[in-house]
Amino acid sequence: MKKGNHTVTEFILLGFTSDPAMQLILFVLFLAVYFITEVGNTTLIVLICRDARLHTPIYFFIGNLSFLDLWLSMVYTPKILVTCISEDKSISFAGCVAQFFFSAGLDYTECYLLAAMAYDRYVAITKPLLYTQAISIKLCTVLVATCYLGGFTNSSIITKKTFSFDFCKDNVIDDFFCDLLPLVKLACGKLEGTQSLMYFLLTSNVIVPLALILASYFFIITAILRIRSSQGCLKAFSTCSSHLISVTLYYGSVLYVYSDSESSYPGNKIASIFYTVVFPMLNPVTYSLRNKDVKEALHKLIN
C-alpha cells in the first residue's frame, strides 16, 4: 500500500486517550474484563461438554456462541491492553489485515448464530411436541457450519476490497482496532463501490439476520399470548429472555456504529466497545445465572 510515494508498512492506533493516568485506569479495566471473559466462556464451554443434561440443541448453540466470544476477545483485547500501557501504538500492515479479517469473520458469524438461536426458540415455544424432531443435532451442526461459512466468506470479500485501497492520506487510525470505517477514511483515489459494499454487508450480515430474529419473536410472542395461565406465559418468556438480551445489546451497538458512516467517532468508539469487549463478557453471565441447569452443572463440577 502506498502513502504518497512511500509504502505503508504499519498503522497507528490512537486508542481512547493520550492521558497516562487514564490509560492506566483503562488498562486495569480492560484486563479485568478480558480475564472475566476468558474464564466465563471457557467455563461455560467445559460445562456444556461435560454435563449430559446440557447436550441439547440450545446449549449446542450457546457453546458455539461462547467459542466465538472467546476468540473475539482474543482478537481485540490484547492489542487494546498494549496500546494502553505502551508508547508504541503501531500495528503492522499484516497484523491489521489479520485483525480485520478475523474480527469481521467472527462478528458476522455471531450475527448469523443469533438468528439460528432465535429459530431454535421459535420451534421450542410454538411447536414444543415436535421440538426434538424438528431441531436435531444434525440440523444444528448444519446451521452452525453455515453461520461460519457465511461469516468468513463475507469477511474474505470485505478484507480483499478494503486492503486493495491506496492509503495515501495518513496511517493513523482513530480507533482501538482495525475497522472498516476508519480505514475507508484513510483511503484515497477512486473508491467506487465502497458505499454499495458497506450497504451490502450491513444488509446481508446485520439486517437480514435481525429481520429473521424479529420474525421469530413475532410468532413467539403470538404463541405466548395464547397461553392462558400467567405462570405458563412467564415460563415461556423466560426461555427467550437471555437470547433477547444478547440480541438487543449486540445488534443495538452494531447498528449504531455501521448504520451511519458519518456519525461522530467518539460515540462510535463507545458503541464499538459493547460488541467487541463487553458483549463477549456478558454472554456467559446472561446464559448461566438465569439458568438452573447450568448452575447445577457448575455446582457439580466444583464438587
Question: Cell numbers of 23, please?
Answer: 490509560
Q: Go through 13-47 and write b for each residue having 16 or more CB atoms within 10 A of its CB, e for each that does not.
A: bbbbeeeeeebeebbeebeebbebbbebbebbbeb
pLDDT at residue number 232: 64
What is the number of alpha carbons within 13 Å of residue 234 lying toward its C-beta? 3
pLDDT at residue number 270: 78
Q: Strands, DSSP E only, in the chain? A: 2-3, 6-7, 10-13, 90-92, 172-173
The CB-based long-range contact list for 14-19 (8 Å cut-off, 24+ gap) reads 14/89, 14/172, 14/173, 14/174, 14/175, 14/176, 15/80, 15/83, 15/84, 15/89, 15/176, 16/84, 16/176, 16/269
pLDDT at residue number 36: 92
pLDDT at residue number 145: 96
The CB density around residue 173, as the number of other CB atoms within 10 Å, is 23
Domain limits of the chain?
2-302
pLDDT at residue number 6: 43
Pairing mode, strands 90-92 and 10-13: antiparallel
pLDDT at residue number 87: 80
pLDDT at residue number 7: 63
**Positive/negative CA dihedral, 77, 78, 79, 80:** positive
pLDDT at residue number 4: 42
CATH class entry, domain 2-302? mainly alpha
* Interval 253-265: pLDDT, tens: 777 776 655 554 5
Given a cut of 70, the residues of the chain with pLDDT beneath it are 1-7, 169, 189-195, 229-232, 234-236, 238-239, 258-267, 289-290
Crossing angle for the helix pair 279-288 and 20-50, to the nearest 10 degrees: 40
Element (H, E) at 231: helix 230-258
pLDDT at residue number 176: 82
pLDDT at residue number 3: 45
DSSP 135: S
**Positive/negative CA dihedral, 61, 66, 67, 71:** positive
Look at residue 205 and give its three-state secondary structure.
helix
Paired residues of 7 in beta bridges: 2
Residues 139 and 275: beta-carbon distance below 8 Å:
no
* Interval 73-101: pLDDT, tens: 999 888 888 888 888 888 888 999 999 99
